[in-house]
Amino acid sequence: MSIKSSLLKMIIYLTPNILIIWVSNIILKGIAELTEFNFDLEARKIYVKTRLYGEEDTIEVCLENFAVFSDGESYRFIIHHAKSDRPWLNNLLSRITGKAWPIPAIPQFNAQLDLLSELFKEETPALEKID
């Protein structure tokens, strides 16, 4: 792991969730309110609880085992598992999980995409030795 990705990993760990919620609520004002947020980099899990503007109930979404990788000519993003507490959102998430979605190539951001692909590289299970 490079120094840049190690530094970015440390920054992610040290950023308090309350700061992320506060900034997100400023950005999403009038659209939604983020009430809970948890990002576990090692387990590759993101948990979000949000309330859409004008709604009473909150929506919970959990994304697990995601990765950014290069296929040689472009970068791709994949989410292996996603779930929600809403059936309609589960149906929507089922259509996007398990597929490698291309990330549009923007030459100015190639260095950042390299860093993200190093930080969120695909974790492959260890192969068991068969005798």
What is the per-residue pLDDT across 62-71, written as a single tens digit (0 to 9) for each? Answer: 999 999 888 8
Burial annotation 41-72 (CB, 10 A radius, 16+ → b, else e): eeebebebbbeeeeeeebbebbbbebbbbeee
pLDDT in tens, 22-45: 999 999 999 999 999 999 988 899
Which residues have C-beta within 8 Å of that of residue 44, sequence separation ≥ 6?
64, 65, 66, 67, 120, 123
pLDDT of 86 strictly over 90: yes
Q: Confidence band (pLDDT; 50, 70, 90) for 120?
A: confident
pTM, 2 dp: 0.78
Q: What is d(CA 16, CA 7) in angstroms, rounded to the nearest whole number? A: 16
Q: Would you state the pLDDT for residue 19?
A: 94
Distance of CA 123 to the CA centre of its chain: 14
User: Where are the extended beta strands (E) located within the chain?
Assistant: 32-40, 45-52, 59-70, 75-84, 101-103
Instruction: Name residue, tokens 């792991």.
Output: 1
